[in-house]
Copies of this chain bind each other. A is one copy, B any other.
Amino acid sequence: MGAGFCPAHEAYEDEMKVQAKEVDILLVEDDAEDAALTLRALKQRNVGDRVYHVIDGDEALEFIFATNLYGEWEPANAPKVILLDLKLRKVSGLEVLRELKSQDRTKTIPVVVLTSSREEIQNIESYRLGVNSYVVKPVDSKKFAQAIGDVGYYWLMVNQPPYR
């Protein structure tokens, strides 16, 4: 049954159970620890109230392409930003990115890749596919929280998304 909150983050579930159409951030992350740190960091910067978390690429595409589960597609329902981990089970992050950026109705949604890899080839390929921003997750947990907070703040408070 499609997208949902990762079981590891039940503490967040009530607060974060939002309607698809109210989502500001779609977080696509299958690593439970990274997801928990990310959700917490967004909360700390006051940009974590309307986050929807899916744990694989299939779920991300299902959410974005608004299949039956989520009702009819409307541009205004798109998240203001998608935070996309590259290393996902099933459909890879780069595949999700390629899919999003190759279709007219989704290519305008800002996508930020979050990755622990410094591999140049992934970085360049992400930009070629049209990623909006590419952020390497710091290993140190304090720096990680700072970087994620900066990302959330920028894309919700500084950037002007399309259609909103």
* Residues of A that sit less than 8 Å from B by CB: 104, 107-108, 110, 120, 123-124, 127-128, 130, 132-136, 147, 150-151, 153-154, 157-163
A106 to chain B, nearest CB (A): 11
On whether the beta carbons of A107 and B128 are closer than 8 Å, the reply is: yes
- Chain B: which residue is nearest A112 at the CB level? B159
Measured CA separation A136–B161 after assembly (Å): 10
Instruction: Please give 8 more A-B residue pairs, beta carbons under 8 A apart, in addition to A110-B127, A120-B163.
Output: A104-B128, A108-B124, A123-B162, A132-B132, A133-B154, A134-B162, A135-B160, A154-B158
| Contact sample, A vs B, 12 pairs, CB 8 Å cutoff | A107-B127, A107-B128, A108-B127, A120-B163, A124-B162, A124-B163, A132-B132, A134-B159, A135-B158, A136-B160, A150-B153, A150-B154
Q: Please measure, in the bound complex, the distance between the C-alpha atom of A150 and the C-alpha atom of B156, giving whole angstroms.
A: 12
Q: Is there an interface contact between B133 and A159, defined as CB atoms closer than 8 Å?
A: yes
Closest Cβ of chain B to A152, distance in Å, is 11
Q: Which residue of chain B lies nearest to A157 when distances are taken between CB atoms in the complex?
A: B150
Using CB atoms, name the residue of chain B closest to A104: B128
Choose one: B134, B147, B158, B163; the contact of A147 (CB below 8 Å): B158
